[in-house]
Amino acid sequence: MRPPAERQNLRLMRAMFHTVAPRYDFITRAFSYGMDRKWKRTGVQEAALPESPVVLDLASGTGDFSDLVRSVYPRATAVAADLTERMLGLARARGIPDAVCADAGRLPFRDGAFDCVFVGYGLRNFRDLRASVREIERVTRPGGLLVSLDFFLPANRLLRRLYLAYLYAQGVFWGVLLHGRPRVYTYIPDSLRSFVSIDDFSSLLRGNGYREVEARSFILGGIGLHWAAKNDLSSRAAP
Ligand SMILES: C[S@@+](CC[C@H](N)C(=O)[O-])C[C@H]1O[C@@H](n2cnc3c(N)ncnc32)[C@H](O)[C@@H]1O
């Protein structure tokens, strides 16, 4: 049985993403000025996976990472997992049949089941970041990868404040325009406020079962793309 605070958090997450699901893909492109797909594609292409990889697209939303993995690796098996049924319905409608309702904190997969776990804008929303990273590490095979794309706090303090204010204003703009509700998209700066920087996340990975970590920064440290190997990163082919 989960503690009440954890259940409440999962309920709120589900309700929020249930509301935004139909507009989610549009808003992701709008927030990133169309760069989001390119960042995700870089994440997939530079992961250099085996020819027929088995991958988990965690916090999949509508299944962007699954879709890209299948376009780069036509023989891949991609499993999408998300907390919100409405998101999973959109993923299935997009032709991603393996779409499973699951909480990142307790994944219903065996140890070492995946060659790679992709997480797009997910880690920031997980209640316990460290525990979720450990759970991701558990379901990754030794030598397998974690690839994460997310918002991060810029290391520079002034930049951090400007970035949060900018994301808040952008959230209000789109919330009012698309839903008539200013707070619908302000969860992005809200969840980011207590999150970490790109470098801090790299350190967290190193301390939780990942020996090799590479990170790329976009938008002055506001967006980060991480590749982390559970074992030996040197076995990855050069991009
Ligand atoms: C910002 S969306 C990201 C969607 C997609 N990965 C992308 O890159 O566009 C975050 C997703 O995480 C899911 N989520 C939030 N908390 C979760 C949890 N504890 N376990 C699994 N999924 C979760 C939400 O339902 C939502 O679909």
The predicted-structure confidence for 90-117, as pLDDT tens digits, reads as follows: 999 999 999 999 999 999 999 999 999 9
- pLDDT of 237 above 90: no
Does 122 contact ligand 1 (Cβ within 6 A)? yes
**Cβ–Cβ < 8 Å for 101, 82:** yes
What mean pLDDT comes out for the span 118-137? 95
Residue with the smallest CA separation from ligand 1 atom 1 is 121
Q: What is the pLDDT of residue 127?
A: 87
**Cβ–Cβ < 8 Å for 118, 147:** yes
Ligand 1 centroid from CA 187, angstroms:
12
Beta pairing class for 140-151 and 223-229: antiparallel
Residue among 125, 127, 167 to mutate when testing ligand 1 (max atoms within 8 A of CB): 125
What mean pLDDT comes out for the span 13-33? 93
Q: What is the pLDDT of residue 43?
A: 98
- 179 Cβ contact partners less than 8 Å away, ≥ 6 residues apart: 19, 23
The predicted-structure confidence for 45-96, as pLDDT tens digits, reads as follows: 999 899 999 999 999 999 999 999 999 999 999 999 999 999 999 999 999 9
Percent of the chain at pLDDT > 90 equals 85
- 175 Cβ contact partners less than 8 Å away, ≥ 6 residues apart: 181, 182, 183, 184, 185, 186
The neighbouring-strand residues paired with 55 are 78, 116
Q: What is the pLDDT of residue 232?
A: 59
Q: Give the position, in ligand 1's atom list, of the atom nearest the Cα of 17.
A: 25
Does 121 contact ligand 1 (Cβ within 6 A)? yes
pLDDT band at 31 (very low <50, low <70, confident <90, very high): confident
Percentage helix, strand, coil for the chain under 3-state DSSP, each rounded to 5:
50, 20, 30
pLDDT band at 2 (very low <50, low <70, confident <90, very high): confident
Q: What burial class does residue 234 get, using C-beta atoms within 10 Å of its C-beta: 0-12 exposed, 13-18 middle, 19+ buried?
A: exposed
Q: What is the pLDDT of residue 5?
A: 81
Among the residue ranges 30-34, 120-124, 232-236, the one predicted with the least confidence is 232-236
Q: How many residues does the chain have?
A: 239
Q: Does domain 4-151+196-232 have CATH number 3.40.50.150?
A: yes
- 150 Cβ contact partners less than 8 Å away, ≥ 6 residues apart: 119, 120, 121, 122, 123, 124, 201, 223, 224
- pLDDT of 38 above 70: yes
Percent of the chain at pLDDT > 70 equals 96
What mean pLDDT comes out for the span 29-34? 90
As a whole number of angstroms, the distance between CA 187 and CA 134 comes to 24
Residue-averaged pLDDT of the chain:
93
What mean pLDDT comes out for the span 136-142? 97
As a whole number of angstroms, the distance between CA 31 and CA 77 comes to 29
Pull the structure tokens for residue 221: 């440290």
- pLDDT of 35 above 70: yes
Ligand 1 centroid from CA 234, angstroms:
30
Report the 10 Å Cβ neighbour count for 3. Answer: 8
Residue with the smallest CA separation from ligand 1 atom 10 is 122
- To 5 degrees, how large is the angle CA 158–CA 122–CA 154? 15
- pLDDT of 187 above 60: yes
Report the 10 Å Cβ neighbour count for 43. Answer: 24
Does 84 contact ligand 1 (Cβ within 6 A)? yes
DSSP state of 234: G
